[in-house]
Chain A
Amino acid sequence: MEASGRPPAGGPDGGDRGYVRTEGVTKAYGGLVAVAGVSFSVPAGQTLALLGPSGCGKTTLLRCIAGLEAPEAGAIEIGGKIVFDAARRINLMPEQRELGVVFQSYAVWPHMSVAENVGFPLKVRGVPMARIAAEVDAILAMVGLADWRDKSAMALSGGQQQRVALARALVHRPRLVLFDEPMSNLDSQLREQMRLELKLLQQKLAFTSVYVTHDQAEAFALAQTVAVVNRGRIEMMGAPREVFRRPATRFVAQFFGYNVLDGKAVAVSADSVQVEIAGGVRLWGTAPGRVKPSDRVALCVRKERVGLADPSRPVPPARQSIAGVLCAAAFQGSHEDYAVAVGGVELRVSGAAGDLAPGPVVVLLNASDCIVLPAG
């Protein structure tokens, strides 16, 4: 608060250039490239989610932004201030970057009380005691820990420690808040609750943040922009609905749980492509990019968009139908998951709980739901 007022959205630091920007950030450990030339920008007041499997480099990227790792190349700008630039040999210390960070292990200091933990960022900035107390009380009330103010941090549950970590990261109104898998140590019920609470805080305080997670639900719920990271690169970046519904690469489709059927393009007409998958089965799909006949491609379809029907009933004419064998059904409460063998590959299907029994079934697919992407 002392050092950095939050700029109004769309202010001098906001706008198109982005409030937080990275440019070609590269970090390698020995021969292993963890982050390979990542560039993105986040407008003021918005959240970018870095989404990817473990080991994809997303946490390393976050630590580079925080100043906890030094990249080999690239530049990082936060709120109009260059905090790192390899070419100009600028590398601000972590404490000079005016950040808030929520760590995966929470990193709540066990030798301090809740209030001491939360007040730390203000204390090291030399804010007067009375101001610290007031700010700490305000933020603790916001995260629902008002009654825990003077408790030892050791007395807290995991969920409460997480709230302390969150309050600590926000109390000094940092220019940027970084989240490193903050919910991964919570159980699933608490995670859903915290997700909504964090969303509310975000709307109330309008902080800019970068949020690292491997949980797509978290990324979709909290971020205006999702960047899917694979092997140190951003595979795809866009609004949550866009990246989920129209994956641009095979990896993105697979990461979001699509059925990925590898095969070969056999016929192309406009943006429709016919793909021959294992077992000689041919299916029509839609290609967002250019595909030539005999290209190696992957036909990707979400498990909710696959229909199953009893072979004795008539097939709806508008959909493609292929014969399959239902191998297993698993009741999930709100729906049912099926494993269906189609021409030697296994298809995951999610549908309303029905009365299908293991045995022959008809698999129904809309060509518009089948996305054809380049293989590999």
Chain B
Amino acid sequence: MFLGAAVAVGLLLVAGPVLTTIGRSFVAGDTGPLQLTLQNFTKLVGDPAVRQAALNTLIAGGGTTLFSTVLGTTFAWIVTRTDIPGRRGLAVFNLVPFFLSPYVGAMSWLYLAAPHAGILQKLALQYFGGGLEWLNLYSVGGVVWVLSLFYTPYIYLLVIGPLRSMDGALEDAARVHGASFWVALRRITLPLLLPALLSGALIVFVTSAGLFDVPLALASPRGIHMLPTEIYAAVQYPSDFGRASALGALMMAVTILFAVLQQRYIGARRFDTVSGRGYRPRSVRLGPVGRAAALGFEIVYLGASVVLPIAALLLVALSRLWTGIPRFDQMTIGNFRYVLFNYGLTQSALSNSLFLAVIGATLGVALGCLQAYYLQRRPGRIARLVAPVLSLPLGIPGIIVGLGFLVLLIGTPLYSTIWILLIAYVAHFFPFALRGISAMLLSLNPELEQSARAHGASWAQTMRYVMLPLLKPALVATWLMLFVIFIRELGATILLYAQGTETISVALVVLSDRNFGYVAALAIAQVVLLLGAFFLFGRTGADVLER
């Protein structure tokens, strides 16, 4: 049937790259007869560069997880539990970094603070005689800094719901029975948030450690090894697919191990079934000092993650020749004109990205919708086995998905077409749609559907008049999220693009050492697309923030 077919397609999309990567990791050589071997793994273990890369990746992922967990929880607490002025607006603005591209973020932080060249470095030199020399973005620390800015909203999103919907009596009970504010926070509020925090931390660790974009911009230029960039390097000429696949297989193994541990842990302590009616938690009244501190903290974060990077991009894009110092008398829109109307590479990059994002998001949502419906209506052993497999790609880095499809489809007519990109995009992110739509379906009482059928509507009419309208907010929100993800995708694209199928992100990488002005102008075009999606997202009525 139709629904079953969608699930089957999903399983194929997951199995293709995963099994290919694992299979290829046990095959020696690039040509000649198929020969099973473990030498790809033994070579990795003996390679000090790989060990260094693993250590750096662990530090980057761990550091990012730590910082974004602290920041995300703090901001979620500030906007839900305090009387900070403008908290409704801040609640939404805190999500903006979620929609921006980490690669562009890393790039614009280089414009801002690259050693000797960044705007902030030059300003510090000019006005304070230096003082920012310690700030070296080309380092693991720089990677952690930029990643933390962009992963903070992940934790924020996951924590804000429980913080809002928690029964306020749980905290009040601690206070009236003798606990101070801080004791109640430590013994009641934080432990109750722990399941959400842990699953958020796991997602951040796995996705940030696997992200290719930021290490490419900040680690590779100084020869600092990280696992995603190692995979990329192994695929470059002279390519060693065995080595790349072995690296990928190891990263996937770690991801799956973490996911299993987390499921075990969270399964043992699910707090959402506590009975009894509660009320909304009370807000804390901040004094003038507290209010200034909270507001200052918000301003620093939004400044560092949104305002400063975009301002830097604009300055560079509007400059005739970028020297690190903005010259307002020499501003031009020439870069924009060239990138948008005269330069073949960037023009085709824009149209390729738009094509991939629109078609990919539509396919992803359609697939996710059908699968969610199938799994919902057939909760049984099949669904229990299939569901975890279908969410697997969420934990797999884009560069590994790209590698899998590269190995699988190299030599087929699909290779070096835009379709291989489309397949990789959908395969990597349809689980995202499946999850979002499943959550929405789960919140709909099945009696709504049964009632339509009982009153004489056919299955198609029920879908058309009852289910789709009810699901619409989730569908639109999911579509926009996929659009955003696809507009900025780099990890899989970098391995699968060919001449003529460059996307915006690829063009940014390709141009990065040629012309700052064009890069910044193209990045601004991408930012406009992403913020446009964010704006629409805010209007869909899909209440990610309210519950």
Contacts and interface: CB of A to CB of B under 8 A. Distances in A.
B178 A158 contact: no
A124 B325 CA distance: 58
A108 B173 CA distance: 8
Given A103-B169, A154-B273, A95 B178 contact: yes
B291 to A, nearest CB: 18
B176 interface: yes
A158 B278 CA distance: 14
B176 A99 contact: yes
B188 to A, nearest CB: 6
B172 A68 contact: yes
A353 interface: no
Interface in A158-215: 158, 161, 165, 168-169, 172, 178, 185
B173 A107 contact: yes
Contacts of A103: 169, 172-173
A68 B282 contact: yes
Contacts of B187: 120
A180 to B, nearest CB: 8
Given A93-B180, A111-B192, A121-B178, A101 B282 contact: no
Contacts of B276: 104-107, 158, 161, 185
A185 B277 contact: yes
B170 A107 contact: yes
B175 interface: yes
Contact of B274 (A67, A108, A120): A108
A124 B269 CA distance: 24
B381 interface: no
A63 B179 CA distance: 16
A8 interface: no
A101 B176 contact: yes
Given A105-B167, A110-B271, A94 B172 contact: yes
A120 B184 CA distance: 11
Interface string A45-57: 0000000000000
Contacts of B279: 105
Contacts of B191: 109, 111
A185 B275 contact: yes
Contacts of A121: 177-178
A120 B279 CA distance: 22
Contacts of A101: 172-173, 176-177
A95 B175 contact: yes
A27 interface: no
A109 B188 contact: yes
Nearest to B275: A158
B174 A120 contact: yes
Interface in A90-129: 93-95, 97-101, 103-111, 120-121, 124-125
Contacts of B183: 124
A260 interface: no
A106 B169 CA distance: 8
B259 interface: no
Range for the number of chain A residues in contact with chain B: 20 to 34
Main secondary structure on chain A at its contact with chain B? loop
Nearest to A122: B178
A261 interface: no
Contacts of B170: 107, 109
B194 A111 contact: yes
Contacts of B192: 109-111
Name the residue in B177, B181, B273 with the highest tally of chain A Cβ atoms < 10 Å from its Cβ. Answer: B177
A66 interface: yes
Contacts, number: 100
B187 to A, nearest CB: 8
B180 A154 contact: no
Contacts of A100: 176-177
Given A107-B170, A109-B170, A68 B175 contact: yes
Contacts of A172: 177-178
Contacts of B194: 111
A154 B271 contact: yes
A99 to B, nearest CB: 5
Contacts of B172: 66, 68, 94, 101, 103, 107
Contacts of B181: 93
Interface in A125-177: 125, 154, 158, 161, 165, 168-169, 172
Contacts of A93: 175, 180-181
B262 to A, nearest CB: 17
Contacts of A154: 271, 273-274
A111 B269 contact: yes
Interface string B157-198: 000000000010110111111111101000110011010000
Interface in B243-288: 269, 271, 273-279, 282
A68 B271 contact: no
Contacts of A104: 169, 276-278
B387 to A, nearest CB: 24
Contact of B176 (A94, A106, A108): A94
A66 B188 CA distance: 19
A105 B269 contact: no
Contact of A161 (B179, B269, B275, B277): B275
Interface string B199-231: 000000000000000000000000000000000
A172 B179 CA distance: 13
A118 to B, nearest CB: 10
A99 B177 contact: yes
Contacts of A105: 167, 169, 275-279
Contacts of A124: 174, 177-180, 183
A203 to B, nearest CB: 23
B173 to A, nearest CB: 4
A100 B174 CA distance: 10
A357 B31 CA distance: 99
Name the residue in B188, B275, B282 with the highest tally of chain A Cβ atoms < 10 Å from its Cβ. Answer: B275
Given A101-B173, A154-B271, A154-B273, A107 B278 contact: yes
B179 A95 contact: yes
A97 B176 contact: yes
A120 B181 CA distance: 14
Name the residue in A103, A161, A172 with the highest tally of chain B Cβ atoms < 10 Å from its Cβ. Answer: A103
A168 B178 CA distance: 11
Contacts of B178: 95, 98, 120-121, 124-125, 172
A104 B170 CA distance: 11
B175 A94 contact: yes
Nearest to B171: A107
A137 B18 CA distance: 56
Contacts of B175: 67-68, 93-95
Can you list the 10 inter-chain pairs with the closest CB atoms, starting with the nearest? A105-B276, A107-B169, A107-B173, A121-B177, A94-B175, A103-B169, A105-B278, A110-B271, A124-B178, A101-B176
22 contacts: A66-B176, A67-B176, A68-B172, A93-B180, A94-B172, A101-B172, A106-B276, A107-B172, A107-B173, A107-B276, A109-B191, A109-B192, A110-B192, A111-B194, A111-B269, A120-B177, A120-B178, A121-B178, A124-B180, A154-B271, A154-B274, A185-B275
Given A105-B277, A124-B183, A168-B177, 4 more contacts: A101-B177, A103-B172, A110-B192, A111-B269
Interface of A: 66-68, 93-95, 97-101, 103-111, 120-121, 124-125, 154, 158, 161, 165, 168-169, 172, 178, 185
